[in-house]
Amino acid sequence: MSGAAPIAWQCVTQCRACGGALTVMFCDLGAQPLANAYVNPQSAPESDQRLPLRALVCDACQLVQLDTIADAGAIFVDYAYLSSVSESWVRHAADFCRQAQAQMNPDFVVELASNDGYLLQHFRADGVRCLGVEPAANVAEIARARGIDTIVRFFGVEAARDIARDHGQAGLIVANNVLAHVPDVNDFVAGIAVLLAPGGHVSIECPTVLELARQAQFDTIYHEHYAYWSLHALEKFLGRHGLAVVDAQPLPTHGGSMRVTVRHARDTSGPMPGLVSMRQSEAEAGISAPAFYAGFGPRVSAILDETRAFLTQRHARGDVIVAYGAAAKGNTFLNALGEAASTIACVGDANPLKAGKLLPGTRLPIVTPQQMAARKPDVVLLLAWNLATEIDSVLAGLGLAGRQMATAVPCLVLREIGA
Ligand SMILES: [Zn+2]
């Protein structure tokens, strides 16, 4: 995807979920390259294509979403993100598997965007029949090598019918951190309604716009994330597809997510206490009012200004600055910094598919954690702030204890590594 062919994209003015008007600006991050378009130094074009990156709010359902739609094929064909690289994420999946089997006892589990099999491997180990659906062929191949039956395609009504015909309907459908990535979200959720067995459950995890706004997590906004869901917007949306949320719980993952349990509307009884409580938190925050979304943009500008000043000052006094975590949100952040990103020597990442490549836009080199540590950095700017505890011990293990780790979201914080 770092090749020369330009990425097709378009601007929209209507809500992808309900067709309402997108009028209120939530956050404008300027023109940015695709955040996952890692650049191969051997075949790098002169510059990376940039598309507008801004999120707006739907007047009718309050779904926060991008008004730029980049071609999904360009985004996912050579997707370099491997879920299993994060140990805490694999543990999270194992816990879910145990809980789901105790509460739902599914006979057939389908995971949408099953990645490298990080989650289904736990069901498989317990002898539960499962199937992964993963659009990125290189990632699906890793899952298959683990013995997890995986089909390579985008999910929607057509895929759902094919799966139901060939494998039967699913007692449990898992859709973790995928809803935001789906360009045609109506087709995707209609497909879930087709594939879900009567009496079955759907478990959806996604970051919440409530935490995004509260913690100023603007760097989770990038072209691959078309929409930023609240429970409020999600319930309205699922209802139009004959599905209903029956339970909800907040999760600490990705800086603040929700896990919602969904069933066919005809299978539901009253809302569980977790759902009542999350509805109340959102209502108290004013999630349905435009005022909730106003003021986010200026807060983002303030964070960027503070970080630019810090990096420029430390660089000027001769400190070695590196960054850690070459994930998509790091790219949003670094590209939003502009010129100040050039104070960073390199970006360390544990994913072997990324080392040796360059970050899109900033063209900073991605190196292994060991190579990064060999630079003896004075400051490690942690881009993957959601994994701070895990990465702190990684950095200490690399001999960087006592040096400084900086996180910039929601505000600039410096701490001593390994303290
Ligand atoms: Zn809408």
Tell me the per-residue pLDDT of 379-391, one tens digit each, with 9 for 90 and over: 999 998 878 888 9
Report residue 185's pLDDT band, with 50, 70 and 90 as the boundaries: very high
CA of 14 to the centre of ligand 1 (A): 8
User: Is the predicted pLDDT of residue 292 greater than 70, yes or no?
Assistant: yes
Cβ 404 vs Cβ 310: under 8 Å: no
Q: How far is CA 220 from CA 80, 145, 210, 303, in A?
A: 17, 31, 13, 14
Report residue 156's pLDDT band, with 50, 70 and 90 as the boundaries: very high
Report residue 1's pLDDT band, with 50, 70 and 90 as the boundaries: very low
Please give the residue that has the higher pLDDT: either 74 or 186: 186
Q: Average pLDDT, stretch 20-44?
A: 91
User: Is the predicted pLDDT of residue 76 greater than 80, yes or no?
Assistant: no
CA of 393 to the centre of ligand 1 (A): 42
Given the DSSP bridges, would you call strands 257-264 and 366-367 parallel, antiparallel or unpaired?
unpaired
User: Is the predicted pLDDT of residue 36 greater than 60, yes or no?
Assistant: yes
Cα dihedral 90, 375, 337, 354 sign = negative
What residue spans define the domains of the chain? 9-72, 83-285, 296-416
Q: How far is CA 70 from CA 78, 82, 359, in A?
A: 15, 22, 19
Half-sphere exposure of 117 (CA within 13 A, CB side): 23
> What pTM was computed for the model?
0.88
CA of 38 to the centre of ligand 1 (A): 32
Please give the residue that has the higher pLDDT: either 84 or 224: 224
* Predicted local distance difference test score (pLDDT) of residue 3: 47
CA of 184 to the centre of ligand 1 (A): 13
296-416 and 83-285 share a CATH fold: yes
CA of 8 to the centre of ligand 1 (A): 24
* Predicted local distance difference test score (pLDDT) of residue 80: 55
Find the angle CA(253)-CA(255)-CA(257) to the nearest 5 degrees: 55
CA of 42 to the centre of ligand 1 (A): 43
Distance from C-alpha of 150 to C-alpha of 153, rounded to nearest angstrom: 9
Q: Average pLDDT, stretch 235-241?
A: 97
CA of 323 to the centre of ligand 1 (A): 37
Crossing angle of helices 328-337 and 296-316, rounded to 10°:
80
* Predicted local distance difference test score (pLDDT) of residue 270: 84
Report residue 8's pLDDT band, with 50, 70 and 90 as the boundaries: confident
* Predicted local distance difference test score (pLDDT) of residue 2: 42
Tell me the per-residue pLDDT of 301-321, one tens digit each, with 9 for 90 and over: 999 999 999 999 999 999 999
Say which DSSP state 245 is in. Answer: E
CA of 110 to the centre of ligand 1 (A): 28
Torsion angles phi and psi, residue 155, rounded to 5: -90, 140
Mean pLDDT estimate for the chain: 92
CA of 58 to the centre of ligand 1 (A): 5
Residues 6 or more apart from 53 whose CB is under 8 A from it?
Answer: 28, 29, 30, 31, 32, 66, 68, 221, 222, 223, 332
Half-sphere exposure of 359 (CA within 13 A, CB side): 30
Cβ 206 vs Cβ 180: under 8 Å: yes
CA of 222 to the centre of ligand 1 (A): 19
CA of 236 to the centre of ligand 1 (A): 9
Q: Provide the terminal-to-terminal Cα distance of the chain, rounded to the nearest Å.
A: 40
Question: What distance separates the 2 farthest-apart alpha carbons in the chain?
Answer: 65
β-partners of residue 207 are: 257
CA of 16 to the centre of ligand 1 (A): 7
Cβ 196 vs Cβ 264: under 8 Å: yes
Distance from C-alpha of 48 to C-alpha of 44, rounded to nearest angstrom: 9
Find the angle CA(237)-CA(278)-CA(198) to the nearest 5 degrees: 50
Tell me the per-residue pLDDT of 242-282, one tens digit each, with 9 for 90 and over: 999 999 999 988 779 999 999 999 999 889 999 999 999 99
CA of 22 to the centre of ligand 1 (A): 8
CA of 21 to the centre of ligand 1 (A): 7
The dotted CATH code for 83-285 is: 3.40.50.150
Distance from C-alpha of 191 to C-alpha of 156, rounded to nearest angstrom: 5
Cβ 154 vs Cβ 160: under 8 Å: no
CA of 180 to the centre of ligand 1 (A): 14
The CATH fold assigned to 296-416 is Rossmann fold (3.40.50)
User: Is the predicted pLDDT of residue 131 greater than 50, yes or no?
Assistant: yes
CA of 231 to the centre of ligand 1 (A): 13
CA of 20 to the centre of ligand 1 (A): 5
* Predicted local distance difference test score (pLDDT) of residue 44: 84
Say which DSSP state 339 is in. Answer: G
User: Is the predicted pLDDT of residue 72 greater than 70, yes or no?
Assistant: no
CA of 266 to the centre of ligand 1 (A): 24
Could you tell me what percent of the chain has a pLDDT over 70? 95
Using only C-alpha atoms, the chain has a radius of gyration, in whole angstroms, of 21
Q: Average pLDDT, stretch 330-347?
A: 96
Which tokens belong to 161? 């019918």
CA of 387 to the centre of ligand 1 (A): 32
CA of 57 to the centre of ligand 1 (A): 8
